[in-house]
Amino acid sequence: MSAPPAPSTPRSLLVALVVAATLLLGLVGATAWLAARVDTLAKANAAMSSSLEGVLGEVTRMRIEQSAGMKGPKALLEKLRTYASLAASSRTTQPDYQAALKEMQAVLRAFESIGADAWAPIMARLGELRGDKDFDEVRWLLEAAVRVDPKQGKPILQQVLLGRYLPSPRLRWQAARMLIDLDKPLAQTLLRQILSTESHNGVNRDRAPQGEVPDMAALAQQGFNNFVLWYLRSEDPQTDDTLLMVLGRTEHDVVTIQDCVKALGERHCARAVEPIQKLFKNPPQQNHLLLSYCADAVHKIQGDAARPWLEEAMRTTSVQTVADHIKSMLGK
């Protein structure tokens, strides 16, 4: 006896499948069209924004030239010199500072509208100044140089950060900020190099690459920890290794060590627990902030597992404020 025939698919079901497939194809096509349209509009908007920015730059330049009574880069350099000292918040009242900062941004926009023709005048003016004595003007000239020609501006920033051009610790930190925005991998490498070869005592020539020793005027005897702070902002993949390296060297000042300990705790670096505990036991000095940072870091990294060590640290420390701090931490 032959097998019974397979049941046929109802006509209504076939129609529904065809309709669903057609709708799906239509939806895919519409999505692709919409994505292409959005991309086209985004490109058109970017082009329009660039064009408007160029027009704004030209208008701004003409306004500045008229007010300065000069033409071209010379007028902008004069305005930059005028507003540089005013755009330093520590020396200027807040309303005047905001006004000067707004005007300085206009000057930078005008420099950008001139482009390559402004490079030589900017470099010439930088050649007349000193990084430490003329810090306010120099920092804005560096901003202008990068706006005018980022490709040529990058190696200038590199030399400033390494302390070999316009030597000044404060200027090196400005260069770090600018390089992080312009070329983050390069900033990471250079800041890592600085932390590997320098301290507040100067440069270790045995560790420094040949020919890359900074000028004496660029060494940060005060505020070396700022290199750590800018390095953290660079988000280097080798951050933990670098901070542990700094932590293990005796030549560093207490503030630099504190910032490394704090950062390692916030990064929950398990490898840092043992060196931080050793540092707490044998600190370079009985500094209550350093000891408190050590306790905080171990607690952040280990959580409840840190309790036995914290209890022992509270019992053995000779600094009462540190003992009180640990007791408060344990109570929480």
Question: Angle of helix 150-161 relative to helix 184-197, nearest 10 degrees?
Answer: 10
Residue 96 located in a structural domain: yes
Res 114 pLDDT > 70: yes
Look up tokens 């057609």; give the residue. Answer: 22
| Cα atoms found within 13 Å of the Cα of residue 182, Cβ hemisphere only | 23
Choice between 6 and 294, residue whose per-residue pLDDT is larger: 294
Over range 80-107, report the average pLDDT: 87
pLDDT tens sequence across 147-185: 999 999 999 999 999 999 999 999 999 999 999 999 999
Residue 159 located in a structural domain: yes
Q: Are residues 112 and 72 in the same domain?
A: yes
Computed over its alpha carbons, how large is the radius of gyration of the chain? 30
Q: Are residues 223 and 164 in the same domain?
A: yes
Residue 37 located in a structural domain: no
What Å distances lie between residue 25 and 22, 31, 33, CA to CA?
A: 5, 10, 12
Q: Which two tokens stand for residue 305?
A: 């597992």
Choose one of 129, 160, 178: the last residue of a domain: 129
Q: Are residues 316 and 290 in the same domain?
A: yes
Q: Are residues 317 and 261 in the same domain?
A: yes
Task: Kindly report the CATH number assigned to the domain that includes residue 296.
Answer: 1.25.10
Q: Are residues 227 and 257 in the same domain?
A: no
pLDDT (0 to 100) of residue 16: 73
Res 309 pLDDT > 80: yes
Q: Are residues 256 and 222 in the same domain?
A: no
Q: Are 200 and 220 in contact (CB under 8 A)?
A: yes
Q: Which two tokens stand for residue 113?
A: 């509208």
Choice between 22 and 102, residue whose per-residue pLDDT is larger: 102
String of DSSP letters for 314-329: HHH-S-HHHHHHHHHH
pLDDT tens sequence across 199-240: 999 999 888 887 778 999 999 999 999 999 999 999 999 999
Q: Are residues 227 and 244 in the same domain?
A: no
46 confidence band (pLDDT: 50, 70, 90): low
Q: Are residues 258 and 173 in the same domain?
A: no
Res 321 pLDDT > 80: yes
pLDDT (0 to 100) of residue 9: 52
pLDDT (0 to 100) of residue 210: 76
pLDDT (0 to 100) of residue 49: 47
Q: Which two tokens stand for residue 22?
A: 């057609």
Q: Are residues 252 and 228 in the same domain?
A: no
Quick one: which of 160, 98, 161 has its CA closest to 129? 160
Q: Are residues 243 and 329 in the same domain?
A: yes
Res 118 pLDDT > 80: yes
Q: Which two tokens stand for residue 243?
A: 């901070």
Res 55 pLDDT > 50: no
Q: Are 255 and 225 in contact (CB under 8 A)?
A: yes
Q: Which two tokens stand for residue 181?
A: 């925005």
Q: Are 232 and 263 in contact (CB under 8 A)?
A: yes
Tell me how far apart the 2 most distant CA atoms of the chain are, in Å: 110
Residue 8 located in a structural domain: no
Provide the residue range defining the domain that includes 121: 51-129
pLDDT (0 to 100) of residue 215: 92
Res 99 pLDDT > 50: yes
Lowest mean pLDDT among 83-92, 101-110, 253-262, 308-317: 83-92
Q: Which two tokens stand for residue 196?
A: 């590997």
Residue 113 located in a structural domain: yes
- Angle among Cα 108, 111, 114 to the nearest 5 degrees reads 155
String of DSSP letters for 171-221: HHHHHHHHHHHH-HHHHHHHHHHHHHHEETTEE-TTTSPTT-PPPGGG--S
Residue 225 located in a structural domain: yes
Choice between 22 and 186, residue whose per-residue pLDDT is larger: 186
Tally of domains in the chain: 3
Q: How many residues in total does the chain contain?
A: 332
Residue 76 located in a structural domain: yes
Res 125 pLDDT > 90: yes
Q: Are residues 155 and 232 in the same domain?
A: yes
In DSSP terms, 198 is beta-bridged to: 203
Residue 40 located in a structural domain: no
pLDDT (0 to 100) of residue 24: 73
Report the percent of the chain where pLDDT is more than 90: 67
Lowest mean pLDDT among 91-105, 170-184, 273-287: 91-105
pLDDT (0 to 100) of residue 298: 98
pLDDT tens sequence across 229-255: 999 999 999 999 999 999 999 999 999
Q: Are residues 59 and 125 in the same domain?
A: yes
